[in-house]
Amino acid sequence: MVKIKNSLATREPIPAFLIGLTSESLADLSWTDPNLGVQDCAWWPEESGDGELASGMKWGAETLTPDLERKVVIVTHEQVPLSDEEKAAIAEAWAQRIADRRFQAETGGTVVEGLSVNTERDSQSLLTGAAFAASLDPEYRIKWKTASGFVELTGEQVIALASAVRAHVQACFDREADLLAAVADGSITGEMLEEGWPT
């Protein structure tokens, strides 16, 4: 609620003795006791008149414009350029959020040929080692633990599984790179952070 007096709007809190009144009652206080000193005042609801914030900008000085007919106050803000320090801080914060989301996707597991495969860092390393062993021994066979239990894999299957997990991990890093590019050009959005990750 914004105070109105003499058709001018100012940000002043509603006096304690008026708290709890309806918007309709606050819109015209001529009915109040003169000793309260608010007969020529009102508190009107506010509406945002701001459009979309442009890339590389921040909200600046506020302007309060009373709409006398509707008894609301239109609140708009100046758009001012971000400083280099603010841009760097925002980019750094985005980079951390993106890296955290990439790590979540990277290590959250994937499905390969119907097998639910653990893609945590330790599992990636173990699978890489198994694939190396399989590349040295054509007869190589192992029992590999999946989310649904152990499965027996041939050397060829181990290599294929390791390749699929590696592709999953690389796709996560590729998505991270795409999002960092969006940060750099100012097109990043919160929605983009949850889109495009491999599963």
Tens digits of residue pLDDT in 19-34: 999 999 999 999 999 9
Looking at residue 59, what DSSP letter applies? Answer: E
Furthest-apart CA pair in the chain: how many Å?
98
Contacts 24+ apart (CB under 8 A), 184-187: 184/91, 186/55, 186/56, 187/55
- The pLDDT value recorded for residue 8 is 95
- The pLDDT value recorded for residue 138 is 85
The continuous run of DSSP H or E covering 105 comes out as helix 84-107
Domain boundaries, the chain: 2-81, 84-194
Res. 42: pLDDT tops 90: yes
| Residue corresponding to tokens 């459009």 | 51
Looking at residue 7, what DSSP letter applies? Answer: T
CATH number of this structure's domain 84-194: 1.10.287
pTM check: above 0.75: no
| Residue corresponding to tokens 């599992």 | 123
